[in-house]
Amino acid sequence: MVSPLDRRMSGLQIRRSSTLLLRDIRRVQGLRVTSPARTALNLAPRLSHSELTRVVNELRLVNRLQVHQLRDIVARNPRHPGAAHINELIGGSQREPTRSELENAFKRLIKRYRLPTPLVNVHVGGVRVDAYFPDHQLVVELDGKVAHGDDWKTTFEEDRARVVRVMAMTGIPTVRFTHDQTTRRHKQTAAQLKTILDARLLGEHGRA
């Protein structure tokens, strides 16, 4: 018989861990919960590689998780069932310019050279893209040496797959600019982008 004062919820499994540190714990609405890094570690054995990648990417995009936190949690829990999955995901990643830094540089380029203003971080053909020029039917993706921050080895393949999906779903091409092109070589990049945009617009009018 269950006591009226028994507050345990059915379906929950209670486990104790001797490896949790203070940095592995957060307080949300008065409840003590595991940090994003520890949660990713715990979920890793139950998710496919693509599912785990999506979860971690989404946490990183809202600034809830960084790769160094994943490295830390794996280093402290090498025998955890999720450790191998996390290690496979992060691979040999290293810190590079973040998404926001690249986007800010690109916005400055657009404003400085008076180029058409794109939509930023929108979905095209069901895929989130860095910048989209709807009048010109052109997508722009911004890459660092390792795209979008301190990413892992899977990012290169995933970004290229996203470009293919956009093209397959919409027929809209994608132009990619590196961090160096967007910052140090901004004048040349702006000229190239203007040429592409003008050609795209002329092509659309020519088919009208």
Residue 142 parent element (H or E): strand 138-143
128 membership: H or E segment, kind and range: strand 127-133
pLDDT at site 128: 86
Asked if residues 164 and 63 have their Cβ atoms less than 8 Å apart, the reply is no
| Domains (range + CATH), the chain | 22-90 (no CATH), 99-207 (3.40.960.10)
Distance CA 154, CA 72 (A): 20
Per-residue pLDDT 10s for the chain (208 aa) are 444 555 556 666 666 777 788 889 899 888 889 999 999 999 999 999 888 888 887 887 777 888 888 988 998 999 999 999 998 887 644 344 446 678 888 999 999 999 998 988 888 988 888 899 999 999 999 886 444 444 444 555 666 777 888 888 999 999 999 888 998 899 999 999 999 999 998 876 555 5
Residue 133 is predicted with a pLDDT of 94
Q: Phi, psi at residue 104, to the nearest 5°?
A: -65, -40
Q: Which residues of 27-53 are buried (b: 16+ CB within 10 A; e: fewer)?
A: eeeeeeebbbbbbbbbbbeebeeeebb
